[in-house]
């Protein structure tokens, strides 16, 4: 069927290229394509991001006839196209430059004429993104997922109307519809994003030159990562945050060390500060600031301002109201434990529903959702979804912070191990950070793990597995870890939790 659809589409495109092909002939061909695409699927996924494309592939693997609708014309959603993947490419490239500039000589590697080739750096990022998006299209073909390029919105509980990217429209019918439309950049009152002087994370990923001064509004994961990229490449970076702390969800003790590390890298912070005015009339941007609690105003100038105040669900304008799908005040779609909305046959996953706005959480939602649709059991434990800040060193965490455990009134113990006492970290001269473990006092069950270390985003998964299976700190401490590795710091922190660490 997919080949028949493709044949009709190509025939339509061939006719459209002829000057004489107008009027009724074009309409008839488009109508023919729409009719074919409108045949009923078992599952229709609206959105081709991490949650959507994974749900589509899993549904097809479970034997369900599946269609995925994506407006971008490139699969992978925000994460792959203008988020997680391109930002990690630039984080890695900028880190290589920074290491060459500040650390290589100490390791006996000397050279002259070091410079940044920004176009080449951007090209490497774009190549990575293009390869991965094409890879997902290949997976769709392999698993026989029908891919419809266009903007889809609910027409009924079993129909999605699609404005096709190539022109015209169609209706895709499905026994089950999954809303996987993801999220969008959160705007700030009075701050208009033009992606030139005032940019979102999307604009920050494709600047044509390195700004002399960059102001980041928002000290969350995205703002600190993008601030790190441009800071390493030579920008003077100032982070403005309304809250009293950076990354409010982070464990307090780890957060303090993290901020000190970023300040050591010459990033500046203005906490408990709000933006009350923006002037873009000159060459750059002038921001008027004042204390969050009110008070004397000040002005800060920048070449580029990055707005990184968080994200909001992308659920407006997709037909939810016309079908009666319920949302909360934040626009998140309300679902039950099987990811079904209040409308039978309509499901939702990922950033469009409550829970952590993370690509890997969306993927897990997608798998569990289609397992339920297929009559199986699915499960996602949001308490064991890891979070990672991909700066250097990275900061990764899973489970509860010490503050959260204390607020719950749970008696607990804490074990900490500094990277300064880890042999691998010392050997590679990269020993800033620590591992912190929080465990229940009576049972020794691990409640949370927080790591600031090079490669923390990889090490954290041992802790995720431990929490998933209800392990104790002793269980991890008695597990043999290869030497020398940075991962040994987790073993030592667990030793320190239930007895005493060896190397401190």
Positions at the binding site: 88, 152, 181-183, 218-225, 241, 310, 351, 357-360
Q: Are strands 146-156 and 66-70 parallel, antiparallel or unpaired?
A: parallel
List binding-site positions for FAD.
88, 152, 181-183, 351, 357-360
Query: Any idea how long the chain is?
Result: 504
- Mind giving me the DSSP string for 149-196? EEEEEEEETTEEEEEETTSSEEEEEEEEEEE---EEEPPBTTB---SS
Catalytic residue among 107, 379, 461, 483: 483
In angstroms, the CA 87 to CA 91 distance is: 6
Q: Collect all residues with Cβ–Cβ distance below 8 Å to 140 and sequence separation of at least 6.
A: 53, 56, 57, 68, 75, 147
7-14: long-range contacts, CB 8 A cutoff, minimum separation 24: 8/32, 8/33, 8/36, 9/33, 9/166, 13/166
- Contact status, residue 387 vs residue 463, Cβ threshold 8 Å: no
List binding-site positions for NAD(+).
218-225, 241, 310
Across the strands, what pairs with 273? Answer: 291
Q: Which two tokens stand for residue 448?
A: 């949370």
In angstroms, the CA 258 to CA 262 distance is: 6
- Contact status, residue 417 vs residue 254, Cβ threshold 8 Å: no
Does residue 483 have an active-site annotation? yes
* Cα atoms in the 13 Å half-sphere on the side-chain side of 161: 12
Residues serving a catalytic function are 483
């Amino acid at each position: 069927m997919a080949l028949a659809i493709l044949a009709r589409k190509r025939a339509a495109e061939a006719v459209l290229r002829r000057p004489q092909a107008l009027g009724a002939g074009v309409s008839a061909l488009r109508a023919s394509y729409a009719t074919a695409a409108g045949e009923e699927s078992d599952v229709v996924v609206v959105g081709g991001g991490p949650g959507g494309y994974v749900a589509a592939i899993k549904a097809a693997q479970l034997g369900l006839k599946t269609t995925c609708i994506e407006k971008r014309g490139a699969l992978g959603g925000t994460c792959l196209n203008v988020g997680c993947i391109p930002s990690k490419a630039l984080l890695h490239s900028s880190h290589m430059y920074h290491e060459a500039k500040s650390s290589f000589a100490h390791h006996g590697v000397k050279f002259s004429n070091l410079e940044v080739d920004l176009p080449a750096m951007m090209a490497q990022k774009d190549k990575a993104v293009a390869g991965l998006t094409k890879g997902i299209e290949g997976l769709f073909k392999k698993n026989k997922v029908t891919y419809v390029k266009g903007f889809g919105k609910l027409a009924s509980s079993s129909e999605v109307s699609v404005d096709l990217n190539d022109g015209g429209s169609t209706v895709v019918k499905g026994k089950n519809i999954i809303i996987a439309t993801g999220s969008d950049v959160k705007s700030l009152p009075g701050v208009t994003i033009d992606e030139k002087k005032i940019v979102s994370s999307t604009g920050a990923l494709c600047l044509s030159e390195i700004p002399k001064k960059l102001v980041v509004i928002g000290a969350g994961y995205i703002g600190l990562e993008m601030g790190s990229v441009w800071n390493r490449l030579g920008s003077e970076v100032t982070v403005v945050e309304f809250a009293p702390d950076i990354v409010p969800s982070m464990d307090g003790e780890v957060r303090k060390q993290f901020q000190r590390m970023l300040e050591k890298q010459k990033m500046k912070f203005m906490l408990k500060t709000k933006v009350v005015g923006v002037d873009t009339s000159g060459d750059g941007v002038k921001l008027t600031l004042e204390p969050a609690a009110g008070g004397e105003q000040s002005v800060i100038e920048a070449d580029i301002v990055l707005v990184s105040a968080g994200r909001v669900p992308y659920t407006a304008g997709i037909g939810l109201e016309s079908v009666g799908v319920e949302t909360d005040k934040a626009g998140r779609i309300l679902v039950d434990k099987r990811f079904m909305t209040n409308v039978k046959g309509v499901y939702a996953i990922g950033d469009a529903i409550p829970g952590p706005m993370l690509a890997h959480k969306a993927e897990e939602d997608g798998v569990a959702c289609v397992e339920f649709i297929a009559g199986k059991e699915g499960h996602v434990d949001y308490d064991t979804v890891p979070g990672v800040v991909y700066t250097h060193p990275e900061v990764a965490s899973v489970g509860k912070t010490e503050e959260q455990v204390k607020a719950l009134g749970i008696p607990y113990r804490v074990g900490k191990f500094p990277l300064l006492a880890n042999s691998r970290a010392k050997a590679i001269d990269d020993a800033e950070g620590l591992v912190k473990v929080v465990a229940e006092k009576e049972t020794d069950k691990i409640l949370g793990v927080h790591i600031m270390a090079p490669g923390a985003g990889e090490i954290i998964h041992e802790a995720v597995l431990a929490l998933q299976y209800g392990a104790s700190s002793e269980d991890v401490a008695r597990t043999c870890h290869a030497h020398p590795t940075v991962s040994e710091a987790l073993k030592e922190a667990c030793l320190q939790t239930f007895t005493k660490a060896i190397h401190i």
